[in-house]
Structure 1
Amino acid sequence: MTDPVDAVADLPPLRTVIAENDLAARKSLGQNFLLDLNLTAKIARSAGDLSTGTVVEIGPGPGGLTRGLLGQGAERVVAVERDARCHVALAPLVTAAAGRLTLIDGDALDVDVTELGPAPIRIVANLPYNIATPLLIGWLKQADRIASMTLMFQKEVADRIVAAPGEKAFSRLSVLCNWRCDTRMVMTLPPQAFTPPPKVSSAVVSLIPKTPAPTACSMASLERVTQAAFGQRRKMLRGALKSITTDPEGLLSSVGIAATKRAEELTVSEFEALAKAME
């Protein structure tokens, strides 16, 4: 019997798979295919031990990262794909994986990734750029049921995820991600690594949910406060927070934050304190 890992390695090159299945990337689906199997293997390795639980991949396309995950010993990969062309193109990979790969037909925004297989759940994906941020926010809300996320974004979004207070990229997304997870930039990839090349660089970010989960405030409250603060980030907080409280200066004073500060100057802990005070 052929070893499943060998069977995956013996599959045709990805460019052949794309050509034979007329699998041109579609902008409407946010598709940019990563075809360098050395890079996909490197991303899979950065996700750690995949030999237990379930690895969830979003938008596998022709299967470059999927091959990397299987090659790194993933016991169970569940790939969510809405493009019917990709299901046809991935059929030989499903066969070669010998039970380790399951394809789900659906929109990732409508799929509960925590229900796709046994824990621990690890999400590893080259995310469709047009839905990457909404997907991430949704997963942060389920982070108590997710072991890790190793995700590729546009570089600009990745910079915002890992940014620290005071940095130009520090944003609402920075606060939400670093309140709930430990974040780390894993690698940056140039446009030419993809087919077709996007107009911007991309980057892989590691997000490990904190254990135990922070409990000082709810994520809903933190979302509300950060939306107000960063929605008018050029304003001092005493002005920016008027949309959520009739007494912004009193709210800020109650947690020891100067009313003249701006959103990018606050720490994640200070945003947490504001959210708690709002509750």
Structure 2
Amino acid sequence: MSYIVRPKKSLGQHFLIDLNIAQAIADTLDNYKNTPILEVGPGMGVLTQYLLSKGHDLTVVELDHESIEYLQENFPELKGHILEEDFLKLDLSKLFSGNFCVIGNYPYNISSQIFFKVLEYKDHIPCCSGMIQKEVAERMAAPPGSKTYGILSVLLQAWYEIEYLFTVPEHVFNPPPKVKSAVIKMTRNQVRQLGCNEPLFKRIVKTAFNQRRKTMRNSLKSMVGQDCKILAEPIFNERPERLSVKQFIDLTNLLESYIIK
């Protein structure tokens, strides 16, 4: 391999240098051998090499031109499957005609946005896995009642089973990040429709957690009016972190006819 790509702070790049961890991340998609894979932010291909060795139908998307040149030179088998694009701006329906999986050592500065992008294509992404900062992984997998349970937890858990697989120390990266990392796996659940007004569900979840120290009554009264009789229901005494996904769905149905237009 002819040269080394310099990690760029502006792109949130921290290159994984521990091959055992790269192999473990690639192993998360072993059950999807017949499903195309999209790797986000491959950098110098530390994860890419294991995905290719497993025989996956792999496409990679990378914003850094220096990394693109490195991949083109060192992974000729990826010819025609390297996209110099911003993942967040991609129309994934034009890339894949059916289902596909997403994997990566994700740029830490946009990891939440990446998962919200996955949600847009949830009916075509049976599995999404990879490495992110530990704090975000904990939020994604947090159960109701925990301090880290929030917007990301509810919106992702509505559609995916989320597994926090293992923690990754700082010293296995170049440069070492200032935070610990973690590997997660999201597997699509059986839910095809939430059984409520889904845009309203998302709005209620975001409104409630943006004022998470308040009761549901105080955080949602702006949506229905302070004197709305529905606010007397017991569920509005709770704080948002106490409510399960199902309770947020029930709450959406309860509130829908009272929402101020």
| TM-score using structure 2 length | 0.91
Kindly indicate whether the alpha-carbon contact (under 8 Å) linking 1:44 and 1:68 is maintained by their aligned counterparts in 2.
yes
Written as runs of structure 1 = structure 2, the 5 A alignment for 1:230-269 is: 230-247=209-226, 250-252=229-231, 257-269=234-246
1:66 aligns with 2:48: yes
Q: What is the CA deviation profile of residues 14-69 of structure 1, one whole-angstrom value per residue up to 9, with x for unaligned ones? A: xxx6xx14x21111101111122221111111222342131011111111111121
AA partner of residue 48 (structure 2) = T
CA distance in 2, matches of 1:271, 1:196: 41
Aligned to 1:88: 69
Residue equivalent to 2:130: 151
Task: Report if aligned partners of 2:105, 2:130 keep a CA contact under 8 Å in 1.
Answer: yes
Q: Is the 8 A contact 2:59 2:78 kept in 1?
A: no
Q: Give the SS at the match of 2:47.
A: helix
Cα deviation, residue 236, structure 1? 1.0
Partners of 2:213 and 2:239 within 8 A in 1: yes
Deviation per CA, 1:130-161, whole angstroms, max 9, x where unpaired?
11111211211220111110132110000000
1:34 aligns with 2:16: yes
Q: Contact 1:163–1:169 at 8 Å: present in 2 too?
A: yes
Taking the aligned partners of 2:137 and 2:214, their CA distance within structure 1 comes to 25
| Superposition pairs of residues 82-121 of structure 1, within 5 angstroms | 82-95=63-76, 97=77, 102-121=81-100
Q: Cα gap change, 1:127/1:243 in structure 2, threshold over 3 Å: closer, same or farther?
A: farther
Return the offset for 1:180. 1.0
1:79 maps to: 60
1:165 CA displacement: 0.6
Go from structure 1 to structure 2 and tell me whether the alpha carbon gap of 1:257 and 1:67 turns closer, same or farther (over 3 Å shift): farther
Tell me the number of residue pairs that the alignment of Structure 1 and Structure 2 aligns: 256
What is the root-mean-square deviation in Å for CA atoms of aligned residues? 1.9
Larger deviation, residues 113-122 vs 124-133:
113-122
Q: Following the alignment from structure 2 to structure 1, what is the Cα–Cα distance between the partners of residues 74 and 229?
A: 60
SS at match of 1:60: coil
In 2, the alpha carbon distance for the partners of 1:179 and 1:107 equals 26
1:174 has 2:153 as partner = yes
Q: 1:185 to 1:149 in 2, by over 3 A?
A: same
Partner secondary structure for residue 124 of structure 1: strand
In the TM superposition, structure 1's runs of 4+ consecutive aligned residues that sit over 6 Å from their partners are: none
Letter of the 2:158 partner, please give it: W
* Displacement of 1:184: 0.7
1:224–1:145: structure 2 CA closer, same or farther, 3 Å change rule?
Answer: same
**What residue in structure 2 maps to residue 6 of structure 1?**
none
Change (3 A) 1:251 1:30: farther
- Equivalent of 1:52 in 3, 11, 34: 34
Q: TM-score, normalised by structure 1?
A: 0.85
Indicate the SS of the match to 1:259.
Answer: helix
For 2:94 and 2:190, locate their aligned partners in 1 and report how far apart those are by CA, in whole Å.
20
Q: CA separation of 1:252/1:143 partners in 2, compared to 1, >3 Å: closer, same or farther?
A: farther
SS across alignment from 1:204: strand
* Pair 1:227–1:248, CA change in 2 (3 A): farther
Corresponding residue to 1:273 among 246, 250, 254: 250
C-alpha separation in 2, matches of 1:175 and 1:252? 22
Tell me the amino acid that sits aligned with residue 192 of structure 2. Answer: A
Aligned match of 2:143: 164
User: What secondary structure does 1:123 align onto?
Assistant: strand
